[in-house]
Structure 1
Amino acid sequence: MFDHVFRPGAIGGLVLPHRVVMGAMHLNLETLDDGGEALAAFYAERARGGAALLVTGGTAVSAAGAGGPSYGIVDDPGHRAALARTAAAVREAGGRIALQLFHAGRYALPGAPGTDGGAPFAPSAVHSRFARATPRELTGQQVLATVEDFARAARTARELGFDAVEVMGSEGYLINQFTAPLTNRRTDEWGGDPVRRLRFPLAVAAAVREAVGPGFPVLFRMSGADLVEDGTPAEDTAALAVALVQAGVDALAVGIGWHESPVPTVQAQVPPGTWAGYARNVKRALRAAGRPAVPVIASNRYNRLAQVEEVLAGGEVDFVALARPFLADPQIVAKSRAGRTEAVDLCIACNEACVDRSFGSEPVSCLVNPRSGHESEFPARLPSPLRRGRYAVIGAGPAGLEAARTLARLGQRVEVFEARQEVGGQFRLAALVPGKAEFGETVRHHVRELAELGVEVRLGHRVGHRDLPLLRSLDGVVLATGVLARRPELPGLALPHVLDYHQAFADPQALGARVAVIGGGGIAVDLAHLLTAGPHTKATPERFLSSHPLTAGGGVAFAPPPPRAPVREVTLMRRGGRVGQGIGPSTRWVVMGELRAAGVRLLTGISYEEITREGVVVRNAAGAAELVAADHVVLASGQEAERDVAQLLERAGVPYEAAGGAAGTEALNAVRATAEGLRAAHRLLGRRRARAGG
């Protein structure tokens, strides 16, 4: 199935068994005060899972280059120790690892280490919407010192036992800022025309090559397209690729977009393979310059090795870097090589526990695999023998499915009880939404894995008093009964055209042409997408790019999606602030743009008066009343924990742990639910171990 994927390849003198690279991800594990235990465990598990070459998240080449307080700095002795431990752990696991050399430039947060409490440093003083600050322009001496910082960091990487280095020159960070007219407005030797704008990345590449010496692999992650107005022109990108190879770079990894770009690049709305053309452009530039043997690495929005096989089969890309898919399943390569692609836990590109967290301080993890980033805390095997116990999981939503497979993976006998006739909980609803079909794939994967682990799933079984004899015989229970739709106190709730969101998702075609949704959270937003979606068409790179037409300007940029004829008139209403609050920041702007393009009306800061046969009467902040005309009114204004079973377990004295909605509805989302399912399973085992005295 994967003739091209599993063909050996080489980057410089580093021979690799296949063509899949694990791309760089900032993890917020880099500065933990644990001696590098969590960082080493994270990378070693992926090396054991078949990743041939792993690239670390960015290590700052200086304190001024750190993207924030959770970034490791190469000059910090504690971080060096963590890096050495990580490199050794990966080598012991049979993998190879490259240290990414990083400088945030104007994307560093104000007050970050090395800025003396002030603004970050950049080629020019151009305001950053990402950091919400205007940086200070580097002096000529500071530019030269930064080049030396990269060289020193590269020497350190080799001393610490790394197999290669990757220079971060993409995604709008410092090196990329030098190549773009938007952010490089200098008139000295480091800017002013295309040749001088490319001088800094070439100086860094040459200095790094000299620092590590011949034979040590140097990768350079360059931008294939900045996707911002006045970004790096395409001809400059091609020239840079050729010049980098001439400066001694062994491979070019091609990144896409800046954090300020108006087009999504890694969200679920982006079809796999959309950005492969930019990697092909780099390869064509090398071929035209007589350097076709230098590997080019494509990246962004692949989650299956079948997609990697397709792009490699074209012959114009040599490797493909996967990042988030290694969070979802560290064994994606090993399972696929063994012909078990159906057993791979797919990345669903939700970004909630990975991309969104990477800009904060909480450890990066994964919605579908909450062990990610916590491998040392939750080992794959129990640290000491524990007799096989019997456990029940009540509820088969995201929290319950995760709890069940965790217990079963750890050798326990598990039964799952689900009141509905199908598993998945609110994931079943999400899977109906355009762009979220792979949420359903996660449910199917869990069901398949539970069957392989011998877990019995009893559907249509609402746990009650009749089950007490069974429950009392168990070693423990995970309560994951989920939530119920909250019904607000409002006149008119009993009218026949009023539905809760479960009913609306169950039969969206039955809803009329005008729908008013009471609520503006994530469920309401998903429902609006479902109700305004046109005829189903398969998302393809060509359709995606055609719906984001190029705008005029010196760089590559995209305009917002054009308005389209609405399928329905949908109004989302919320008492409080903005609609979509709680949706992750890397995704919210995309989905809200789609709602606006679909003509969805957004009402916030209102109060509800009553529901009538004609719609919903609301009152705005100024006190004026308005009728929101609607053929159907949908309640999506919150959730309540289902507590009946909890009370039953408490009265019976059955040991249990709650997870997901059963543990509370505040700040509830799928990331919290799956993480709590994992933790609840481990807590039960810990309680049992404590009772056993060991």
Structure 2
Amino acid sequence: MNSLVEPCTIGDRSAPSRVLFGPHETNLGRGRAFSGRHTAYYLRRAAGGCGVIVTETASVHASDWPYERAPLAAGCGPGWAEIAQAVHEHGSLAIAGLGHTGSQGSSAYSQSALWAPSRVPDVASRELPMELTGTEITALIGGFGSAAAIAVEAGMDGVELNAGQHSLLRQFGSGLTNLRGDEWGTDKLKLLREVIGAVRHRLGDRLLGLRFCGDELAPWAGITPEHAVDQVRELADSIDYLVVVRGSAMAGSATRPDLHTEPGFNIELCRQLRAAVGNTVPVVLQGSVVDPGQAQWALDDGVADLVEMTRAQLADPDLVRKTRAGIQPRPCGLSNAKCLVRDNRNPIISCAVEPRTGYETVDPEPVVPAQATEALVVGGGPAGLEAARVLATAGHRVRLVERTGQLGGALRLAALVGGRARLAGFADWLVDRVTELGVEIHTGTEATLSDVDNAELVLLATGSSPGRREFTALADAVVLDDAEFYTRILAGYEPRELLPSGSILVHDPVGGPVGVGTAELLASHGLPTAIVTPDQVVGTQLAITGDLAEANARLQRAGVVLHKGTLLREVSPDRAVLENRFTGATREIDCAAVLHCGHRLPEETLAGERPELPKAGDCVAPRTVHEAVLEGRRAALALMTSHQLPVSTV
């Protein structure tokens, strides 16, 4: 049996585990080169036991500039050398990701036409690319070869070619985008074979991996699993490992979906392609695998030889080390909220549940505590739980007081929103950790000023309270805030028990996951549901997580009525008045109740009495779990520092 966390052999090289950290955008670069932050980022995963680390995909030709800080292979030698040296200290293999995004790139930075096999507009950007001539194809093949040579000179263990999502190599292999009548179109694998040959010539004894799309999810013209079986059989003898992925420009979010898609979605596709290549080449399973148990099952069941667990190692870089020791890693919620960074905001890669990710060079160095003291944390949501965990890990005696009957705070409520149940796993993990650390927990207890004044260290994480409503609710109108609604659901009530019969209107002035998920939840219970938003598209903030298109499709399939570009002005017992945001025209609709999914405000009862006390999370400003965890950790560290108390590893 192949163990996930034990060494394995790829080609003539050994990796310390069968876990792969795949290539992904980080925005950690300096210009178009790898930076010291990249080195620290990959080093941290190697130290945690990762077997194979594939660096952020570098463009092999200057014509490709898909995002502002996208690495360009010609300038990546020094960065690759630093990364290779750091990763090798822990025995991990360092592989250089190489690619060209073609028509799925961007012309905003290069200010030149996008490259493509044919003049087919990209379905996302709608931009028409140029069709490559023989001259550009020759330059592209040479670019892959030159990039491989630079990686070898830098000491990398090999390269991984991207013929998956955002890939010109995939575009040449697909009937969706390759309409050519010449040799590069009639033989759709010709370019990939030529690139593999050019790269192999420059690699020597180094590894050559291939990230290959086995299903474009566009069977009318795209690559299908049946096509892919024949293709990988032809390519297997020329590569050292194969990563099976899915997706195309027609299904951009399919390669890296959010928590609405079950983990392991590529299992059957991977099984098919592994059967096609037999024992010729090791095959890697990719597809939101974040649970070591599922990864081990995939190995045991013959699905794959290695497992890519990229987002799992964003949530916990020590995943392999902890799995070996029988310790539960910090769970990944697959929300994409902080790790999907290829957008015009240029955010730094991070993780919703592990804020240190991407900031490995920023955190203070821990020291071993010399003494302990008593600390009081008020509030048992994610900010309070993380603060208590940090303080208790540092050896301090911690008492945590939560006014409700359950720990987890707003995170428990968020997990009840339609499609977001995975979030509860992180709340459970935090509760398990503080319990193991011996934190004294009091639920159903309201902290008093006396409690605060008698504690040596105090940290407030008291959460939020209902925010302002920008509409008028007339007498006897049924209006519930989302937190109130989900608190009752958490207590065991069904939506039908909480709402009157008739049409339910979800008011979503935020455009985030709560409004959309609430509408989905109500519709799934058979309630006639509508959603009103001031935006032109429902759930605009879901573009950040890659769920925008899918969310709107789910709403329409569920029969939810969409009122876009619309303001809610007034609610009566059976009607709601809506106003067109642009024209000011008003109209009335049937409405038995409103679920208000708006912004909330900080809960300031104790903070108002003791404004000097440190605060964290929603009682500072209600935002997401990422900010709650980040501020809970920072506040705990700052509290110990301000009292000249030592800090341990957190």
Give yes or no for TM over 0.5. Answer: yes
Match of 2:381 among 388, 394, 397: 397
Q: Is the 8 A contact 1:67 1:109 kept in 2?
A: yes
- 1:351–1:587 Cα contact (<8 Å) kept: no
The CA deviation at 1:687 is: 4.4
Amino acid at match of 1:680: A
Flag the 1:316–1:605 CA change in 2: closer, same or farther, 3 A. closer
- Pairs within 5 Å for 1:70-85: 70-76=69-75, 79-85=76-82
| Contact 1:329–1:346, Cα closer than 8 Å, also in 2 | yes
Q: Does 2:219 align with 1:251?
A: no
Give the whole-Å Cα distance in 1 for the aligned partners of 2:448 and 2:124.
52
Within-5 A mapping of 1:165-564: 165-191=159-185, 193=186, 195=187, 197-213=188-204, 215-228=205-218, 230-246=221-237, 248-261=238-251, 264-265=254-255, 266-287=257-278, 292-340=279-327, 343-356=328-341, 360-379=345-364, 381-382=365-366, 388=372, 390-471=374-455, 473-474=456-457, 477-488=458-469, 490-492=471-473, 495=476, 497-505=478-486, 506=488, 507=493, 508-510=495-497, 511-513=499-501, 514-521=503-510, 522=512, 523-534=514-525
Query: In 2, distance between residues paired with 1:142 and 1:449?
Result: 56
The 1:489/1:495 distance shift into structure 2, 3 A limit, reads farther
Aligned partners of 2:147, 2:406: CA distance in 1, in Å? 53
1:106 aligns with 2:103: yes
- Deviation string for 1:7-37 (max 9, x for gaps)? 6532111223443222222211133799833
1:140-192 CA-to-partner distances (Å, cap 9, x unmatched) read: 1121111111111112212212222111111141111110122122233322x
Aligned Cα root-mean-square deviation (Å): 2.8
Q: Does 1:36 align with 2:35?
A: yes
Residue 634 (structure 1) aligned with residue 595 (structure 2): yes
Equivalent residue for 1:86? 83
User: Cα–Cα, structure 1 residues 526 and 325, in superposed 2: closer, same or farther, change >3 Å?
Assistant: same
- 1:605 corresponds to 2:565: yes
Q: Identity of aligned pairs, percent?
A: 30
| Paired amino acid for 2:144 | F
Q: CA deviation at 1:618?
A: 2.8
Question: Quick check: 2:369–2:646 contact (8 Å CA) kept in 1?
Answer: no
- CA shift at 1:411, angstroms? 4.7
The separation in 1 between residues aligned to 2:421 and 2:103, in whole angstroms, is 37
1:293 Cα offset (Å): 2.9
Closer, same or farther: CA 23–271 of 1 in aligned 2, 3 Å: same
Shift in CA distance, 500/493, structure 1 to aligned 2, threshold 3 Å: farther
What amino acid sits opposite 1:615 in the alignment?
R
TM alignment of 1:600-679, pairs within 5 A: 600-620=560-580, 622=583, 624-650=585-611, 653-654=612-613, 656=614, 658-665=615-622, 668-679=623-634
Secondary structure of residue in 1 paired with 2:268: helix
Q: Does structure 2 retain, via aligned residues, the 8 Å contact 1:367–1:671?
A: yes
Q: Secondary structure at the match of 1:616?
A: strand
Work out the CA distance in 2 between the residues paired with 1:387 and 1:42. 32
Q: CA deviation at 1:414?
A: 3.7
Partners of 2:2 and 2:299 within 8 A in 1: no
- Tell me, yes or no, if the aligned pair for 2:375 and 2:396 is still in contact at 8 Å: yes
Cα deviation for residue 283 of structure 1 reads 2.1
DSSP 3-state at the match of 2:234: helix
Aligned match of 2:141: 147
Q: Which AA in structure 1 matches 2:419? A: G
Specify the code of the residue in structure 2 equivalent to 1:326.
Q
Q: Which amino acid aligns with 2:334?
A: A
Alpha-carbon distance change, 497 to 162 in structure 1, aligned in 2, over 3 angstroms = same
Task: Output the CA distance in 2 between the equivalents of 1:681 and 1:449.
Answer: 16
User: What is the CA–CA distance in structure 2 between the aligned matches of 1:397 and 1:373, rounded to whole Å?
Assistant: 24
C-alpha deviation, 1:519, in angstroms = 2.7
* Structure 1 Cα separation of the partners of residues 529 and 300 of structure 2: 44
* Range that drifts further, 490-499 or 66-75: 490-499
Superimposed CA distance per residue, residues 505-539 of structure 1 (whole angstroms, 9 cap, x where no aligned partner) = 223231234312233533222221222225xxxxx
> Which of 117, 120, 126 is the matching residue for 2:114?
120
One-letter amino acid of the counterpart of residue 28, structure 2? L
Return the offset for 1:446. Answer: 0.4
TM-score by length of 2: 0.90
One-letter amino acid matched to 2:281: V
Q: Give the 3 Å change call, closer, same or farther, for CA 360–127 of structure 1 in structure 2.
A: farther
Deviations 1:598-629 (A, max 9, x none): 11112233344432221323344555544332
Give distance in 2, aligned partners of 1:607 and 1:217. Answer: 58
Residue identity opposite 1:230 in structure 2: A
8 A Cα contact 1:517 1:635, kept in partner: yes
**Compared with structure 1, are the counterparts of its residues 6 and 623 closer, same or farther at alpha carbon in structure 2 (3 Å cutoff)?**
closer
The alignment's TM-score, normalised by the length of structure 1, stands at 0.84
Cα gap change, 1:512/1:276 in structure 2, threshold over 3 Å: closer, same or farther? Answer: same
> Which has the higher mean CA deviation after the structures are superposed, 640-649 or 260-269?
260-269
CA 1:207–1:623: 2 relative to 1, 3 Å? closer
CA deviation after TM superposition for structure 1 residue 303, in Å = 1.4
Helix, strand or coil: the match of 2:335? coil
Is the alpha carbon distance of 1:133 and 1:389 closer, same or farther for their aligned partners in structure 2, counting shifts above 3 Å?
A: farther
User: 2:216 is aligned with what amino acid?
Assistant: D
Deviations 1:479-520 (A, max 9, x none): 332222224264435526332222322232312343122335
CA contact (8 A) 1:172 1:257 kept: no
Question: What amino acid does structure 2 have at the position aligned with 1:436?
Answer: R
Instruction: Indicate how the Cα distance of structure 1 residues 681 and 82 shifts in structure 2: closer, same or farther if over 3 A, else same.
Output: farther
Supply the distance in 1 between the matched residues of 2:44 and 2:253 (Cα, whole angstroms).
33
Once the two structures are TM-superposed, the CA of residue 568 in structure 1 deviates from its matched residue by 0.9
User: Structure 2 CA distance, aligned partners of 1:624 and 1:641?
Assistant: 34
Deviates more, 1:261-270 or 1:23-32: 261-270
Structure 2 gap ranges (5+): none
CA contact (8 A) 1:660 1:672 kept: yes
Amino acid at match of 1:190: W
CA distance in 2, matches of 1:628, 1:103: 51
